[in-house]
Amino acid sequence: MAQALRYTYDGLPIAPDEPYGAAIVVRRAARYLILHRAQHGPAYEGDWAWTPPSGSRQPGEAVLGAALRELTEEAGFVAAPADLRVLDLSGRWVRFGLEVAASTQARVDPEHDRFDWVDPAEAIARCRPAAVADGIRLAESVAAVGIAFRPLAAADLPALVAWQNAPHVARWFPERLDLAAAERKYAPRIAGESPTWVHIAVVDGRDAGFLQHYQVGDYPDYAAATGMPDAIGIDYAIGVPELTGRGIGPQLIWTYLRDVALPAHPAARHALASPDVANQTSVRALEKAGFRQAGPITVPGEQASEQLCVLDAIKFFGERS
């Protein structure tokens, strides 16, 4: 990676060991699991020390692995990576959500002396400091959806064109493709004759948008602009307006990396995306999916500067074979 890149969050540099840890906000039948810290001194006296399952990463531990480990250690749940949904992976502590069956039972570990399942208002009132309570608020605001992907087919092109020309998307896709132009552009990708692979995103059984992945080095101008030829590049759009603004974007990005893009590029250490610098909604979705801003870039032939965002795949997902 180019040495000039510096990851930032809210304008502050991200240290190599950040994020420090993870919280997992667990919901069962509209009630949240909160754990009470065992009293280990005056700082913990009283009835305020409630949190969702959470804890620090161990040295060299992946963020996802740390979240799953803490969930088991603190609450007794054994979960798979696909069980966790992204709430917000930006900043120094990340937050995942987990939906469990109504019959699911928890248990306390030595760090806690009791637990409770409470409604959102009660969970927010008990959890301190405010940043801990914000995890409950976030879980309430982020839609829990089923996500799947399938390869783009010729029959999907009318929907793809409609999505790219939708008012909330068209500003960021200046080509303004019609169906004939889309057939020319995407036919090689559908046939597997292009280094770019395109997938339809299916949200709760509904075709909702598209994502694509590629190795950056297959596009020399982009590789030169980013300085990361070995990285995975991704692009994406939610085409259905009513599915925007519900926290679905970060979940789509994270799930696509986990299930599609990273398995297709097992040797890649980094994933990147570079939306228009003015597209702050997209930049924020990437940050919530674990990407860090690495500075603006200019790609030859593009009309606007792009904000390069980079995800350290090893840090978040761990080593892959």
DSSP label at 150? E
For residue 311 the two structure tokens come to: 């995800």
Dihedral angle of Cα 71, 72, 74, 75, to the nearest 10 degrees: 90
Rounded CA-CA distance 246/224 in Å is 35
Helix (H) or strand (E) segment spanning residue 314:
helix 313-317
For each of the domains in the chain, give its residue range(s) and CATH number, in order of start.
Answer: 8-141 (3.90.79.10), 147-317 (3.40.630.30)
Mean pLDDT of 246-260: 97
**Inter-CA distances, 308 with 32, 63, 297, Å:** 36, 22, 6
Q: Would you place residue 3 in the very low, low, confident or very high pLDDT band (cuts 50, 70, 90)? A: very low
N- to C-terminal Cα separation, the chain:
21
Mean pLDDT of 105-114: 90
Q: Is the peptide bond before 19 cis (omega within 30 degrees of 0)?
A: yes
Query: Does residue 291 have a pLDDT over 60?
Result: yes
- φ, ψ for residue 314 (rounded to 5)? -70, -40
3-state SS of 61-129 is CCHHHHHHHHHHHHHCCCCCHHHCEEEECCCCEEEEEEEECCCCCCCCCCCEEEEEEECHHHHHHHECC
Q: Which amino acid would we find at residue 237?
A: A
Helix (H) or strand (E) segment spanning residue 222:
helix 220-226
Which segment of 35-49, 155-169, 287-301 scores lowest on mean pLDDT? 35-49
Rounded CA-CA distance 69/61 in Å is 10
- Among residues of the chain, what percentage have pLDDT more than 70? 92
Contacts 24+ apart (CB under 8 A), 69-75: 70/21, 70/22, 70/24, 71/24, 71/26, 71/98, 73/109, 74/35, 74/109, 74/111, 74/112, 75/26, 75/33, 75/35, 75/106, 75/107, 75/109, 75/115
DSSP3 helix / strand / coil % (the chain, rounded to 5) = 35, 30, 40
Beta bridge partners of 13: 8
Rounded CA-CA distance 21/46 in Å is 25
| Residues 7-34 pLDDT 10s | 554 555 555 578 999 999 999 999 999 9
Rounded CA-CA distance 138/195 in Å is 37
- φ, ψ for residue 27 (rounded to 5)? -120, 135
141: helix, strand or coil: helix
pTM for the model: 0.91
Q: Would you place residue 2 in the very low, low, confident or very high pLDDT band (cuts 50, 70, 90)? A: very low
- φ, ψ for residue 162 (rounded to 5)? -60, -40
Rounded CA-CA distance 249/267 in Å is 25
Q: Which residues contact 203 (CB under 8 A, 6 or more apart)?
A: 145, 146, 147, 209, 240, 243, 248, 252
| Residues 187-238 pLDDT 10s | 999 999 999 999 999 999 999 999 999 999 999 999 999 999 999 999 999 9
